[in-house]
Chain A
């Protein structure tokens, strides 16, 4: 009874956490086999943007922190870098959604594209600071192809969010 009560109360958050885990495991395992020109889509970043779109600020910040921690744990950069920038991307995405129409697919895609570009540029700046700069050609290739592959996937993630969270029945979702 207690479990059911808490599941009902935190259903949306539990689904969010499960999506987060699924996206992380997919990014680190299966997506590697779907590389095109050695570039894979960034499903974690797309999920991050979707969190800022569907969840309250507090929730999306917690999820962004978790995504950042996962990225830091699995990546090679000094710990904490991704944790900080993921939080920044959530705040930026929410700012964009508050100012523009959130129903427009194009706006969502452009927001995601901006965040992917900014994420890669920030990463490059950081690598430059720690004396490991990424060649411009590789950086441009990564930015362009990663955005190209992530955008169609983000639409799929959006559909999954809509299906799982069912905004009509869930008044706790503040964004819709």
Chain B
């Protein structure tokens, strides 16, 4: 019997070797062989993963916490760099405007707003030390903002043109029609004292006329969006300011020559 068994083992090993050899050379057989092992392999892998998870739980936990910290740090850096990028873009714009401008200018940041709703005042971080004086005009790269009404050593208060107490001598750029712009405490401005039949059209550009002596001539104020009739046939125009006066961050102060 043992001799018979031995005689069966040798041929069966040879057949198995031949099958494996054939499988190595024929891709279809190899693929189906591996496919048949797919499920048990998956199962083994899952078990192995679970065991690893249990064994290395503490290590994974610490690593996870470290990675979370790193992610939050990277996220914060990303936000900061985005903010710096945007600020840089704005300042570049301002600088470009400053270089082109004929007036001596100084850039300032808006650091505060008037606490009440009945006036429109901003506080900037430049004062006497930077050469700012009362009644200096304040602008941005896109247009007129207002004028300095109070000057401290390091800060100044600016009366924005949408304040109801503000008055700007202005003219329509196309027709040279003059008027007086005052604020409404909202986004819009109103150009008063336009004579009956004044040559004013929608989308006309409005600039400072320089008549009051407070603002230099030719600074952009905005565009006409509405024309209405006032008392005694006089007209008034609603102006959309070229600068968003409710969200000012950086401004330029026109220094006295």
B134 CB to nearest chain A CB (Å): 13
Asked if residues A142 and B118 are in contact (CB atoms below 8 Å), the reply is yes
Tell me, in angstroms, the Cα distance from A33 to B163 when the chains sit together: 18
Tell me, in angstroms, the Cα distance from A24 to B187 when the chains sit together: 24
Sorting the interface of chain B by its residue count into under 10, 10 to 19, 20 to 34 or 35 or more gives 20 to 34
Contacts A29-B112, A75-B121, A77-B119 given; 6 further ones with Cβ under 8 A?
A28-B123, A38-B117, A71-B116, A76-B149, A76-B159, A138-B118
Complex interface: chain B residues within 8 A of A24 (CB): 115
Complex interface: chain B residues within 8 A of A99 (CB): none
Asked if residues A138 and B114 are in contact (CB atoms below 8 Å), the reply is no
A-B contacts, 13 listed (Cβ < 8 Å):
A28-B112, A28-B123, A29-B112, A33-B247, A38-B187, A39-B117, A74-B121, A75-B114, A75-B121, A76-B163, A132-B164, A134-B164, A138-B185
Tell me, in angstroms, the Cα distance from A134 to B164 when the chains sit together: 7
Contact of A71 among B115, B159, B184 (CB under 8 A): B115
5 closest cross-chain pairs (CB), A and B: A28-B112, A32-B113, A27-B115, A38-B186, A142-B117
Q: A74-B123, A76-B149 are in contact. Are A132 and B117 (CB under 8 A)?
A: no
B122 CB to nearest chain A CB (Å): 9
Tell me, in angstroms, the Cα distance from A18 to B116 when the chains sit together: 21
- Residue ID in chain A nearest B247 by CB atoms: A33
Q: Is B212 an interface residue (CB 8 A)?
A: no
- How does the 8 Å CB contact mask read for A3-37 relative to B, with 1 for contact and 0 for none? 00000000000000000000010011100110101
> Which residues in window 215-257 of B have CB below 8 A to A?
246-247
